[in-house]
Amino acid sequence: MATDQTPRKVALVTGGARRVGRAIVTQLANAGFDVLFTYLDSESDARALENELRQIGALVVGIRADLTDPATSCAAICDRVESQLGRVSVLVNNASLYEPADLASATLEQSRRMWAIHVESPMLLAQRLAPLLRAGRGHIVNMLDLLAERPWPAYLPYSASKAGLWNLTLSLARELAPEVTVNGIAPGVVEWPPELPQADRQNYLRRVPLRRAGTPEEVARLVQFICTAAPYLTGQIIRVDGGRSIT
C-alpha cells in the first residue's frame, strides 16, 4: 500500500487485536502507517480489525504469535516483516499478560511466562529489527505499567516483569541511539477490567487528581506523537495516569 514517491511507513504492534493495542493499530493506520500486529486468541477481533482498516487504504495484517515462546514467535514475526514489507519504522511492544499472584501463590512457570512476554520478546524483536529500525530512523515504544514503579504485592510476577521492561527501555534507548528513539508509556487505568466492582472503581478514582479513568485512544494518540512528532525524545517513561503517580 504505497506509491513510488512516498512509501507508507510500517509499524509492528504486538498484542494489537483488542483493547489498547487495537486503539494503537487504528491510530497508526489512520496516521498513514501500514501495520502488522500480533494476536494470540483473538482471531475474530483480528480479522474484523483488518477489514475495518482496509477501508481507509491501509495494509493491516494480523499475525498469530505466542510471545510466551520468544525464540519461535519472534523469529516468525520478523521473517514476516522482512519478507512481506522489507522495512519497519515503529515497534510497539504492547502484548501483555495480566495475572494475579502474590508471593505465596506465584509459580516459577508463571514468572517465566511473564518474563518471556514482557522482557524477552521485546528484546528479541528489537535485536532482530534493529537494522531496519536504524535504516528508517525509527522508534520503539514499550507499553509499561505504573505497577512497575509502584508494585502491588497481589501482582508480584507481573509487576516485577514490567519493571524489567522499564529497565530494558532505558538500555535500548542508549544502545540504539542516535538512529532510533526508545520510550515507554506507563498508563494508569485506561480501560476497566469488566469484572472490577463499581465500588473499587470509585475508590481508585478518588486517588486520581483528574478524577476519571483514561481511554485507550488517549494512549494511542501518545504513541503516534512519539513516533511522528518527537524526534528528540528518547529514554523517557511517560505516565498517562491522570496524576495517580503523584498521589
Question: pLDDT of 93-110, one tens digit each?
Answer: 999 999 999 999 999 999
Looking at residue 1, its pLDDT comes to: 47
Mind telling me the catalytic residues?
158
The whole-model pTM stands at: 0.95
pLDDT tens across 6-20, in order? 788 999 999 999 999
- Tell whether the model's pLDDT for residue 4 goes beyond 60: no
Q: Where are the domains of the chain?
A: 9-246
**Angstrom distances, CA of residue 219 to CA of 103, 116, 175:** 31, 24, 25
- Tell whether the model's pLDDT for residue 214 goes beyond 50: yes
pLDDT tens across 24-47, in order? 999 999 999 999 999 999 999 999
Say how far apart CA 216 and CA 23 lie, in whole Å.
6
Q: Options 3.60.21.10, 3.30.110.30, 3.40.50.720, 3.90.1170.50; which CATH number does 9-246 get?
A: 3.40.50.720
Instruction: Give the list of residues 6+ apart from residue 33 with CB closer than 8 angstroms, or none.
Output: 8, 9, 10, 11, 58, 89, 90
